[in-house]
Amino acid sequence: MTKIDDIIVRLEALEKELSEAFDEAGADVRSTIGREKVRFTKEVRRQHRLLAKKWASYVYESGFLMLLTIPVIWGALLPALLMDLTVSIYQTVCFPIYGIPKVRRGEYIAIDRYALSYLNWIEKLNCAYCGYFNGLLGYVREVAGRTEQYWCPIRHARTPKATHSRYRFFLEYGDAQGYHDRMEAVRHGFDDLRARGEGREEASGGRGEKRKEASGGRGE
């Protein structure tokens, strides 16, 4: 195992621990059913309703300049919806052909804050927008990352400040021999996703999957 692999393993363990800690936080005031449904105790719900700010007061306290930005921020919604549709169609059409497991959109976009009774309707709307937009960016990033792994799995000479989840599998910048020797194996190297149950809908229908099976699972 290389130093990079060792760091990645430790990071994944820490991310899992952090996720579990987030789930546990506040468990004393709510009971969770599955991964999506959350129920607060009766007393907590009552306290939440008492803390909700009137929407008129919320608007007044926001200030005139803040209100002027509303058309700007909400104007980004239409391009976001178009991007969502475009990326979803793209992976539905192309990923089975490439042999890439599809990204589960629902795992990235979470819209649940509207159920919080200590928020007024404007705050709920804003929270729904933020949840959708930020989740959409994560979803699109993962689709793009898997696409990049298939078409150009080479690391940059200067590592970007933020890298997607597939970047760790990429080949070293300037490693010409490695590129020619391992390109096919890397571009079809999605076994870690399939081990988690992703991409089952492609079965063995994708071109890349068939190649992997023919070569004993090495990628080609």
pLDDT digits (tens, 9 = 90+) for 43-89: 777 787 777 788 788 787 888 888 899 999 999 999 999 999 999 99
CA 95 to CA 34: how far, in whole Å? Answer: 29
State residue 127's pLDDT score.
94
Q: Is 39 helix (H, G, I), strand (E, B) or coil?
A: strand
State residue 200's pLDDT score.
61
The values of phi and psi at residue 110, to 5°, are -120, 120
Q: Which residues of 18-29 are buried (b: 16+ CB within 10 A; e: fewer)?
A: eeeeeeeeeeee
**211: pLDDT confidence band, cut at 50, 70 and 90?**
very low
The values of phi and psi at residue 191, to 5°, are -65, -30
CA 3 to CA 168: how far, in whole Å? Answer: 12
Contact of 27 with 16, CB cutoff 8 Å: no
Entry field: residues in the chain: 220
Vertex 108, ends 104 and 110: CA angle to 5°?
125
Contact of 105 with 139, CB cutoff 8 Å: yes
CA 122 to CA 114: how far, in whole Å? Answer: 10
Query: 59-64 — which CB contacts under 8 Å span 24+ positions?
Result: 59/122
CA 7 to CA 5: how far, in whole Å? Answer: 5
State residue 60's pLDDT score.
77
**28: pLDDT confidence band, cut at 50, 70 and 90?**
low
pLDDT exceeds 60 at position 30: no
**197: pLDDT confidence band, cut at 50, 70 and 90?**
confident
- The predicted-structure confidence for 92-125, as pLDDT tens digits, reads as follows 999 999 999 999 999 999 998 888 889 999 999 9
